[in-house]
Chain A
Amino acid sequence: MTTAPIIEQRSIPVVSTDSVIEIEHLYKTFGDNTVLADFSLVLRKGENVAVLGKSGSGKSVLIKCIIGLMRADKGSIRLLGQDIDNLDHQELDEIRSRVGFLFQSNALYDSMTVRENLEFPLRRHWIKMTSAEQDAKVLEVLSNVGLAHAVDMMPAELSGGMRKRIALARTLILDPEIIFYDEPTTGLDPITGKGISKLIREMGEKYNTSALIISHDMNCIRMTADRIIMLIDGTCYAQGSYEELKLNNDPKVKQFFE
């Protein structure tokens, strides 16, 4: 027997002038497995929202649908005011240049140095910069994550925490309006994880970004999120601040805080 969730998803306001992501009634299935079922979400400008759910609950699928790496079966996704499903490749690339994505596995290009990894999005999105400006930008974001000295290192020479910081620097290099974090602390020890969570918060404030954080690490979520959305059974089961959800007696919500 489960108690009612805090807020039913249908009550979430989906039209907002300052919203940067609006998702309405999203469905995604893989064969017989439904991972998203009537999921809705709104992310407002400057807000950090965490999507909390068990492994395999569809959190990563959700952000891949938002960024256009996967197509949802049904529902609508508006990213920075544009309907993702109606964009052609060029428009999709243009909108992707305004967002950053920190992958769970960091996704640093093994064959490139740290500098080349950071320059890659600048070159590919045709950002007009002289090579001196490009160098300065690379060093600026590396300094912000505390790794300016690693500029000429290869990804294989970096520790797990350093890789995560470099991956974060790569997401920041285009001055994104929104950053997607896919399990940012997975595979890191608690101390390094805490450092990364702190850095996410600091960088959000410094670069004035909104963030959608996918995680099941409660420490990370507590440190980084203004609002938490609980993705349970493919739907937005409950939402609220960390403190609000912690006090909730619904067993499905409570299990994450035990």
Chain B
Amino acid sequence: MALSHTWQQFLDETGDISRFTRRFFLQGFKPRYEIAELLRQCYIIGYKSLPLVGLTGFIMGLVLTMQLRPSLISYGAESELPAMVGIAIVREIGPVITALIFAGKIGSSIGAELGSMKVTEQIDAMEVSGTNPFKYLVVTRVLAATLMLPVLVILGDAISLYGSYLGVNIRGITSFSLFFQQVFDALSFSDFFPALIKSYFFGFAVGIIGCYKGFNSSKGTEGVGRSANSAVVVSSVLIFIIDLLAVQITDILGFN
């Protein structure tokens, strides 16, 4: 009985999120366009997330390099280190880790912000002020998250590779140009393209879940906390599901 109730709740929520997503597509591309708010959200969601994404990317590249080195030495393949780290970061680790960091920072922030606006009647006030709150708050945030995450992934990958370059040079000497030549020699279009495309889907998932949770927040401050928390949990799980689907699709299309 408990299981069926949980299952029912899961299905209800999935249906609600689908309707919310449909509403985004129905309303998002009709005028009035909230360009100024979209640009403001791009600045907040993209630019202000860069330090955190950069720091985690740098540490990720450095640590990955230092962890891989002993294994590669034991196989006599230390010279393959830049290529291996490059492929791992660009294809998988960069997009997924950046998306998870993004979900933690932006998903929770959107969930809490909209949740707080809902319980303090700011969304109603917006509607009374001649503003469609769905367009102004939801469409702009979802678009900004969708557009900004791929940019953050590219920048995060670059910083991560720089961290890897420093990691290589802790125990050896490799020039900057040689390191990056080895990285880019190992990479091809089929490594960049699927990673970039799935980043758009990750960004969309984080934006739509954060907005859905915030927009449907209730029960006062407790509800706001719950919205922020569940926005992170659901969008993180969705990131892994999208990643799983992406790897299957790229495999079918021959990109792997």
Q: With A and B bound together, what is the CA distance between A142 and B132 in angstroms? A: 26
Interface residues on B, range: 10 to 19
**Closest chain A residue to B132, Cβ basis:** A89
Q: Is the CB of A110 within 8 A of B116?
A: yes
Q: With A and B bound together, what is the CA distance between A101 and B125 in angstroms? A: 8
Q: With A and B bound together, what is the CA distance between A104 and B124 in angstroms? A: 11
* Binary B-proximity of A119-133 (CB < 8 A = 1, otherwise 0): 011001110000000
Question: Which residue from B122, B124, B130 sits with its C-beta under 8 Å from A109?
Answer: B122
Report B-chain residues with C-beta under 8 Å of the C-beta of A111.
113
Interface residues on A, range: 20 to 34
* Binary A-proximity of B47-72 (CB < 8 A = 1, otherwise 0): 00000000000000000000000000
User: Min CB distance, B8 to chain A, in Å?
Assistant: 18
> What's the dominant secondary structure at chain B's contact region?
helix
Q: Is the CB of B129 within 8 A of A105?
A: no
Report B-chain residues with C-beta under 8 Å of the C-beta of A109.
117, 122, 125-126
Within 8 A of B (CB), among A16-54: none
Q: With A and B bound together, what is the CA distance between A105 and B119 in angstroms? A: 9
Report B-chain residues with C-beta under 8 Å of the C-beta of A99.
128
Q: Is the CB of B124 within 8 A of A103?
A: yes
Q: Is the CB of A105 within 8 A of B121?
A: yes
Number of inter-chain CB pairs below 8 Å: 46
Q: With A and B bound together, what is the CA distance between A101 and B126 in angstroms? A: 11
Q: Is the CB of A69 within 8 A of B132?
A: no
* Binary A-proximity of B153-181 (CB < 8 A = 1, otherwise 0): 00000000000000000000000000000
Question: Which residue from A64, A110, A120 sits with its C-beta under 8 Å from B129?
Answer: A120
User: Is A152 positioned at the interface, with any CB of B under 8 Å from its CB?
Assistant: no
Q: Is the CB of B132 within 8 A of A107?
A: no
Report B-chain residues with C-beta under 8 Å of the C-beta of A105.
120-121
Q: Is the CB of A107 within 8 A of B121?
A: yes
**Closest chain B residue to A100, Cβ basis:** B128
Report A-chain residues with C-beta under 8 Å of the C-beta of B18.
none
Q: Is the CB of A121 within 8 A of B130?
A: yes
Q: With A and B bound together, what is the CA distance between A105 and B121 in angstroms? A: 7
Q: Is the CB of A103 within 8 A of B130?
A: no
User: Is B190 positioned at the interface, with any CB of A under 8 Å from its CB?
Assistant: no
Q: Is the CB of A96 within 8 A of B124?
A: no
Residue in A99, A104, A120 with the greatest tally of chain B CB atoms within 10 Å: A120
User: Min CB distance, B222 to chain A, in Å?
Assistant: 16
- Beyond A103-B121, A109-B122, A110-B116, whether A125 also contacts B128 by CB under 8 A is no
User: Min CB distance, A255 to chain B, in Å?
Assistant: 28
Q: Write the residues of chain A forming the contact surface with B, with a CB cutoff of 8 angstroms.
A: 64, 67, 69, 89, 93, 96-97, 99, 101, 103-111, 120-121, 124-126
Given A67-B128, A107-B120, A107-B122, 20 more A-B residue pairs with CB atoms under 8 Å apart are A64-B124, A89-B132, A96-B128, A96-B129, A96-B130, A97-B130, A99-B128, A103-B121, A105-B120, A106-B120, A107-B121, A107-B125, A110-B116, A110-B120, A111-B113, A120-B129, A120-B131, A124-B130, A124-B131, A126-B130
Instruction: Supply 23 A–B pairs (Cβ within 8 Å), ascending by A.
Output: A67-B128, A69-B127, A69-B128, A93-B130, A96-B129, A96-B130, A97-B130, A101-B128, A103-B121, A103-B124, A103-B125, A104-B121, A106-B120, A107-B121, A108-B122, A109-B126, A110-B116, A110-B120, A120-B129, A121-B130, A124-B129, A124-B130, A126-B130
In the A-B complex, the 4 residue pairs with the closest CB atoms = A107-B125, A107-B121, A124-B130, A121-B129
